[in-house]
Amino acid sequence: MMKTALLLLLVLAAAQAQLPAVKVCKDNETFKTCGSACEPSCDVPNPEHCIFQCVVGCQCDKGFFRRSDKACVTKDQCEVARNKRAPVAAILFYGPVIMNSNGK
């Protein structure tokens, strides 16, 4: 009887190890065992050159795009995020400043 119980326990443990863990994804995401390596994002909504590689994990649902904060949003929500970005400061370099001995 003890051997049967032990054997049953081992079989159940092996079966449990073979089951994929339930993954909880955020809003507008679905867990995929073979998702795209080039998920559409706000910056690259239509990735053209992508290697065929299975990626396991949560991916944005169809019609949603990965934003920089990792949320899956609609195209309109991508635009709102772009418009809220702070302007990028530009530094212009005109070359070395040459002064004479008077500091001018």
CATH code assigned at 67 = 2.10.25.10
pLDDT of the residue at 99: 53
Number of domains comprising the chain:
1
What pTM was computed for the model?
0.57
Tell me whether residue 100 is in a domain: no
Q: Is the dihedral of CA 18, 24, 25, 27 positive or negative?
A: positive
Q: Is the dihedral of CA 54, 27, 42, 86 positive or negative?
A: negative
pLDDT tens profile 27-79: 999 999 999 999 999 999 999 888 889 999 999 999 999 999 999 999 999 98
Tell me whether residue 63 is in a domain: yes
